[in-house]
Chains A and B, each alone.
Chain A
């Protein structure tokens, strides 16, 4: 009777190691797997029986006996039939949570390497054609057709081509890349080997953020194990160093080259002049990990699922204040409301959902009145948002949206690569403007007191007042510098709500059109959506619909 317990970082954070140890101490054979992806039932223990794998969760280390005799109150029945899993279409995550992630035998037994074998029997052009026919679009955020990118690299004349996997996954609310690397690393390796065959690359890099120590260790081990199966193609892991902007593809390439992670101007495209100036395929983990299925099962099987021009499946991640958070792989077209309410079960706190942020720190905040939106690149773009890496962060009604807008600007200021002024300086000015708005708005009483009084912004206001006094005292005596500084002294600024709100919109406009990459260019999405959908948090009247409720 085998026992399965996840060793995924999230499962371990919830106590899975102690649970696994308790079963091992009781003399059981324990297999550590990736996570199935539903964290409200973790730590999850699965017991192998004649009826399949029976799940119990959440369980603690003291529950061994009750699990083994089947009497535990949290018995879930056959895990495959649990509604959270039964409703999914697991093309990419089929093995995640099921097998021992670093067992080559189990990988091969569960259709592993079928895609690579099929690809090797095909010409590079035929492989690229299959990826094109699948309709696969980049899962890192921009949604660019993967096959077209590969075609450019295939057509580029050069000896040294590279495959680079973008595993920087910096967006809050996302963890699919991490789960796949920890739970089914050979799937990513196989996808990269197929890409290498398709474009004629000999070496590849997986750039993993340093915040993912488990994924780094698992990928390194898996690369060692699988080296002989992907040869002559070789792979190595590079560890990031805590810079969000290194998820941007050209900054990532500079980072691998040992430089500051600064965004490059395009053209040239990385597909033509990428890593070390050579033609380079750079793709997100999920884009590359979707490829083995496409080659093994056929492009049509992948493209048969989806919505409009968004083909195939998306591993959606439900995060934040959500009751059943986790990873839910499903064909495009499911609505935002179905994901948040039906799959996610609403908030974890039990309070009403007030906002969801889709697509990480550069994504828009949507109120429940937008829950009819189908999960589709075009539909989200039309609504002034983005799918991004498909993370959905849920907030209940205690959220202060002005505070979240301030955070978006603060994050941009902290992570800006520094190349463009609107992003580097504008974001700091944005923080200051939101601070002034928060100081000038009538206090919002219906929310938690600890949320409406941000100590940092209070300090900023005190500093402003002190500066102001200082400037006035030195007025006329400070020469050129004094005058220049005085022109920006707070007393010269119209700090009324109206003026500051106009200024904020204006600044967002400048950032949107004056930034080289999406960090500066998309930070306005969360800010403006907060302003548009939740004006009452910025001291303006509530939108009609909410007021009527």
Chain B
């Protein structure tokens, strides 16, 4: 990771305003922002560890532990609720075998809440490994479960 961060700052600069872009890059590379990486980032941008830790923990996007191999981000916001989102959330947890906000024991899947994907007229919606899926119903959940099992 040290090498990755060095290379990244060499290309993009090491000013403080590069902290969020760097955290995104680290997470994309490693899947999460490990606590052990925080001091490396702090040194690279000449910030205190506490400062970097504070930023990592402020933003919902940054994970401090690895996610499952597949990530389903299910929308919990109002417009999706108006289209039956609560029932789909319960069904998704059941069908995928993992509670909202958790990673399944076998590491196959994480089910995460998201608050609006901007697809509010066609909900309930989700991002399945980054791919948008609309009008989620029982059949759609079956397809997602099959995809994850494959």
Contact = CB atoms under 8 A, between A and B. Distances in A.
A379 interface: no
A174 B77 contact: no
B71 to A, nearest CB: 13
Contact of B115 (A170, A175, A450): A170
Given A13-B133, A320-B78, A320-B82, A211 B60 contact: no
Given A242-B61, A243-B59, A258 B20 contact: yes
- Tell which of A173, A214, A326, A455 has the most Cβ of chain B within 10 Å: A173
Given A258-B55, A259-B55, A13 B119 contact: yes
Interface in A393-444: 393-396, 399, 404, 407, 411, 415
Interface in B45-74: 45, 54-55, 58-62
B86 interface: yes
A450 B84 CA distance: 10
A361 interface: yes
Contact of A407 (B81, B119, B132): B81
B132 A13 contact: yes
Interface of A is mostly: mixed
Nearest to B130: A213
A365 to B, nearest CB: 10
B21 A239 contact: yes
A325 interface: yes
A258 B115 contact: no
A317 B120 CA distance: 9
B116 to A, nearest CB: 4
Given A399-B82, A407-B81, A241 B117 contact: no
A243 B58 contact: yes
A13 B79 contact: no
Given A171-B116, A241-B60, A319 B79 contact: yes
Interface stretch (B2-10, B11-19, B102-110, B141-149): B11-19
A241 B62 contact: yes
A173 B79 contact: yes
Contacts of A14: 122, 134-135
Pairs of residues from A and B, 4 with the lowest C-beta to C-beta distance, nearest first: A325-B121, A320-B82, A258-B19, A172-B77
A360 to B, nearest CB: 8
Given A173-B78, A174-B118, 8 more contacts: A172-B116, A174-B120, A211-B116, A239-B21, A242-B60, A258-B17, A322-B121, A407-B81
Contacts of A226: none
A118 interface: no
A320 B120 contact: yes
A488 B130 CA distance: 44
B1 interface: no
Contact of A325 (B54, B58, B122): B122
A175 B134 contact: no
B122 A241 contact: no
Contact of B24 (A39, A170, A174, A241): A241
Contacts, number: 150
Contacts of B121: 10, 39-40, 175, 317-320, 322, 325-326
Contact of B78 (A257, A322, A361, A415): A361
A278 interface: no
Contacts of A357: 78
- Tell which of B21, B45, B79, B132 has the most Cβ of chain A within 10 Å: B79
A396 B133 CA distance: 23
B29 to A, nearest CB: 15
Given A13-B134, A172-B115, A450-B86, A391 B120 contact: yes
13 contacts: A13-B133, A172-B77, A172-B115, A173-B116, A241-B59, A255-B20, A256-B20, A319-B79, A320-B121, A325-B120, A393-B79, A450-B86, A450-B87
A388 to B, nearest CB: 12
A260 interface: yes
A451 interface: yes
Interface string A321-351: 1100110000000000000000000001000
B8 to A, nearest CB: 14
B26 interface: no
B114 interface: yes
B21 A172 contact: no
A260 B83 CA distance: 33
B149 to A, nearest CB: 22
